[in-house]
Amino acid sequence: MTLRLGTPVTALAIAALAVTGASAEGRLQTILQRGKILVGTGSTNPPWHFKDDKGQLVGYDVDMGHLLAKAIFDDPAKVEYVVQSSDSRIPNVLTDKVDVTCQFMTVTAGRAQQVDFTIPYYREGVGLLLLKSGKYKSHDDLKAAGSGATISVLQNVYAAEMVHQALPQAKVDQYDSVDLMYQALNSGRADAAATDMSSAKWFVAQNPDRYVEGGYGWNPQTYSCAVKKGDLEFLHFVNIAFREAMTGVDFPAFAASFRKWFGEDPPAPKVGFPSELR
């Protein structure tokens, strides 16, 4: 950065210079010297992060860690996962226990004051899970049924209002656990379960002969990974790695992960003018 003569050197400008200088030998170099990237994530929430039958940590968030290791070392195995609770997602980034947190973390303005968010890697929302053998097969069917349709949902002060945004006349039954919510659907006490769209797609992908997804999502929220503030070089690198996975050279690996966990193919990038700039 070149400062013109006569330009006031404010405290903000000095701080910016300090951050720029620090980032030149920042986290990316530390990761390279360490020989692995430390990724914070959970272990109990499929399809995001959970233990498989062999006790291995798997899921879409976990695949994001492998993607970053591949980008840094050309070796997806050079990653160490730090299993953490949801309330440790930001503290572990701030205290350098992890290089990056990828743990179905919703982007909010308040959180963005504490950490830097990467570009989004998923857009979550509320969806509807229905039985394939049930009376209703879609959101349109449920909406047409009006007050004749019963929707199970996890108990929350806003649960009924949330369901009624998509199904204004439906009856809403609230349950104090996710398991009970799904049991209501499986037993026929509910015609559909209002749940995270990712969970609905996961259930359908795992049990295509039993469940269908209602074909309608609402209440969108953005999921991104989080890094410590101040190291813009590392943030820029992670963004490039994610962008090229979703739209460029690493798209086949990314698409395979998306298909595995959500049962659908992400839109393939078109050759020519970059569609993300339209």
Structure confidence by residue, pLDDT tens digits, 244-268: 999 999 999 999 999 999 999 999 9
Q: Band the pLDDT of 68: cuts 50, 70, 90.
A: very high
Say if 11-121+224-277 and 125-221 have the same CATH topology.
Answer: yes
Q: What is the topology classification, in CATH, of domain 11-121+224-277? A: D-Maltodextrin-Binding Protein; domain 2 (3.40.190)
Question: Per-residue DSSP letters for 89-114?
Answer: HHHHHHTTS-SEE-SSPBP-HHHHTT
Name the residue with higher pLDDT: 175 or 21: 175
The pLDDT value recorded for residue 25 is: 66
Asked whether 61 and 98 are in contact (CB, 8 A), the reply is no
Domain ranges of the chain: 11-121+224-277, 125-221
- Written as six digits, the tokens of 233 are 């070089």
Terminal-to-terminal C-alpha distance of the chain: 31
What residues form DSSP beta bridges with 154?
175
Write out pLDDT tens, residues 205-240. Answer: 999 999 999 999 999 999 999 999 999 999 999 999
Q: For domain 125-221, give its CATH number from 3.40.190.10, 1.10.3720.10, 3.30.70.270, 3.40.50.10540.
A: 3.40.190.10
Cα dihedral 253→102→129→203 (10° resolution): 50
- pLDDT above 70 (res 23): no
For residue range 84-127, list pLDDT tens digits in order: 999 999 999 999 999 999 999 999 999 999 999 999 999 999 99
Tell me what pLDDT residue 276 has. 79
Spatial neighbors of 191 by CB under 8 A, at least 6 apart, are 130, 134, 135, 136, 142, 145, 149, 150, 151, 185
